[in-house]
């Protein structure tokens, strides 16, 4: 399923802006956790959190059905789409950045 991973904390500068960006890419819905600037992904397993000394950065792999189409969408939304690379016997990956410079990776299984 597109956008699915096990768990992650996506460290960003602006949690609301990140929620809008990834909501448009993957259809994520978020809600603040106990009044904090920590937003749980309600239709997935993870969170969007502000960058901090304890969470200076993050990298996660998101599963996609069509890597090429998703890379186009990332670029259309102001992100930086990386070049796809083969992972022999498994599929293809691409390392990307959202519209704030937060790194993330995409994986399409073969």
Mean pLDDT of 8-24: 93
What's the confidence (pLDDT) of residue 57?
A: 80
Q: Which of 25, 18, 26, 6 is nearest to 49 (CA)?
A: 18
Model confidence pLDDT, tens digit, residues 49-105: 999 887 778 878 899 999 999 999 999 999 999 999 998 898 998 989 999 998 888
Q: Are 9 and 46 in contact (CB under 8 A)?
A: yes
Give the pLDDT band (50/70/90) at residue 19: very high
Q: Is the whole model's pTM more than 0.95, yes or no?
A: no
Chain center to CA of 46: 10
β-pair partners for 12 = 50
What is the homologous superfamily of the domain 9-109 according to CATH? 2,3-Dihydroxybiphenyl 1,2-Dioxygenase, domain 1 (3.10.180.10)
Q: Is the pLDDT of residue 34 over 80?
A: yes
């Amino acid at each position: 399923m597109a956008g699915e991973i096990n768990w992650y904390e996506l460290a960003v500068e602006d949690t609301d802006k990140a929620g809008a960006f990834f909501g448009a890419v993957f259809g994520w819905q978020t809600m603040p956790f106990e009044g904090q600037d920590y937003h749980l992904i309600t239709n997935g397993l993870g969170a969007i959190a502000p960058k901090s000394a304890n969470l200076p950065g993050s990298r996660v792999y998101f599963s996609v059905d069509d890597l090429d189409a998703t890379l186009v969408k990332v670029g259309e939304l102001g992100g930086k789409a990386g070049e796809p690379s083969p992972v022999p016997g498994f599929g293809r990956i691409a390392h990307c950045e959202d519209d704030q410079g937060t790194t993330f990776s995409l994986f399409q299984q073969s």
